[in-house]
Structure 1
Amino acid sequence: MALEGLMTLRIHLMRHGETEWAISGRHTGRVDIPLTGNGEVEARRLGQRLASIKFDHVLVSPLQRARQTCELAGCGEQAEIEPDLIEWANGDYEGQTHADVFAQRPDWNLFHDGCPNGESPDDISARADRLIERLVRLDGNVALFSHSHFGRVLGVRWIGLAVQAGQHFILNTASLSVLCYQHEHVGDPAIELWNG
């Protein structure tokens, strides 16, 4: 148990491995597609990086690309499905590339505009905040297997920035980021590692 005001919480945020749509640049929200062969290799390599960490909690998005990454990284036995880790709902833009969307809306920005018939920035920000409220009650090492855009929102909301700042925080496939508290003080949320 942590001392009052101090927490040893360390959130290890992992983006899933490569998919066909990640390669082609198609917006991949709620469509449930698997990893590519290379994505499976990436997930196993991620597992090698995580092998020395004992996780107290493992939470994973319900989508198969995140679940496969979790399994191949060696964390599947502990994993619990966490619905709030699911990717940003792209609505009408699901499966489209940036070029497709820009042909219709040249000034479109996901983090400012959201997606028609999908989630707005306010929607996804509220979802990230709801998850953070539950995460801060935990202690120890927490593994989260999620997605690019939701992970970016979670990272910026962790440090108190607006959802729009997420556009500046890139997450590559099978990347590792670490959210924590500076000097383990609950009043000082910090990012120790990003897109590693």
Structure 2
Amino acid sequence: MNTKGGVHIWLIRHGETEWSKSGQHTGTTDIALTDEGRRQAAALAPVLASQSFDLVLTSPMGRAIETCRLAGLGNRAEVEPELHEWNYGIYEGRKTADIRVDVPDWSVWTSPIPEGESVVDVGRRAQRLIDKLLATNAMNIALFSHAHFSRVFGAQWATGSPAFGAHLAMDTAAMSVLGFERDTRAIVKWNLLP
């Protein structure tokens, strides 16, 4: 078992968009940051500048790439396709409350997502990325991504159960740190704002 006890993975959610502000599920639609989102992203720069990252990866979506750039790490970032947000299928662009008019008790965490990904699918994607990261020599890693994917990633890292992500709230432009407690994968810090 490769624990790589000194590894720290920083999960950084992109700044605010119009859809994150309104609560619309934003998976495959490439929505730009708002002015507030750009301000949030720039506010990350002083915190992230205090770290020495061996590897910086970003989702292919513009909102994550711009957050990474404004946070001061854009010139070092590589696009990592596994970091894209959950594919919400037919629910793309819709709010949970609106979906529940047609599908009572609907939840991204427990309900089928026609033409999209299930929580198990997203968990498998997160695990592939975890395995890839642990196979590198990188010890301090920054990942710029999205709320639901980051929540699944954190849950998969700490518990092996992607559905545990339902219990990990994540604000726009929030930072979380994953690492180890002795030989056990742990959530070191969660949902920190600059």
TM-score bin, normalised by smaller chain: over 0.9
1:195 maps onto 2:178 in alignment: no
Is 1:30–1:89's contact at 8 Å kept on the other side of the alignment? yes
2: CA distance between counterparts of 1:45 and 1:134?
A: 29
Match of 1:194, as an amino acid? W
Counterpart for residue 175 of structure 1? 174
Letter in 1 for 2:86: W
Q: TM-score, normalised by structure 1?
A: 0.93
Q: Quote how far apart the aligned CAs of 1:161 are.
A: 3.7
CA-atom RMSD in angstroms: 1.2
Residue pair 1:86, 1:146 contacting (<8 A) in 2 also? yes
1:16-27 counterparts in 2 under 5 A?
16-27=14-25
- Alpha-carbon deviation of 1:16? 0.3
Deviations 1:51-90 (A, max 9, x none): 1101100000000000000000000111000000000001
Secondary structure of the residue aligned to 1:111 is coil
Q: How does 1:41-190 map to 2 (within 5 A)?
A: 41-138=39-136, 139-183=138-182, 185=183, 188-190=184-186
Q: Is the 8 A contact 1:85 1:146 kept in 2?
A: yes
Question: Sequence identity of aligned pairs in percent?
Answer: 46
| 1:32 maps to which of 25, 30, 33 | 30
Tell me how far 1:114 sits from its aligned partner.
4.3
Superposition TM-score, scaled by structure 2 size: 0.94
Unmatched segments (≥5 aa) in structure 1: none
The number of aligned residues is 190
**Residues of 1 paired with 2:15 and 2:47: CA distance?**
14
